[in-house]
Amino acid sequence: MRLVGPRIGADALRQHPLPSIGAVSGTVDVFLPAPQVIIEADGRRWHQRQADMKRDRERDFAAAQVGVLTIRFLHEHLANDLFGCADGLRRVIASRLSSELGRSAYALGR
């Protein structure tokens, strides 16, 4: 995930506390403050069990409640097509920054 921030041209905060209203806590792989985007890399090591996937969905929903979008990549995505992942993330970021949601969330400093 260290390579993703520079490839998308955004400030990337690694191992950042989960943005949420407090009901669910934890740390996210990468948080991009301006577009309010979380990037998670899901590997088989951490996501083999249904309980792990359930916890991830709860975290995604907690972040969504405060306007933060979570994007999840499998390890295979990042290992086999890092440039494609970065291109897609750039499009998501541009879309969020140009939308009212992205601007208002950034202005609130979440």
- What span, in angstroms and rounded, lies between the C-alpha atoms of 5 and 70? 15
In a domain, 108, yes or no: no
We report the CATH number of the domain holding residue 31 as 3.40.960.10
Whole-number Å distance between alpha carbons of 36 and 19: 9
Closest CA to 8 of 73, 60, 56: 73
The stretch 93-109 carries a mean pLDDT of 67
Number of H helices, E strands in the chain: 5, 4
Task: Give the pLDDT confidence of 23-35 residue by residue, as tens digits.
Answer: 788 889 999 998 9
Spatial separation of the C-alpha atoms in residues 89 and 56, rounded to whole Å = 20
Q: pTM, whole model, 2 decimals?
A: 0.76
Residue 5 neighbours by CB under 8 Å, 6+ apart? 11, 12, 14, 30, 32
Q: What is the pLDDT of residues 49-88, one digit of tens each?
A: 777 788 889 999 999 999 999 999 988 888 999 999 989 9
Domain count, the chain: 1
Domain range enclosing 96: 4-101
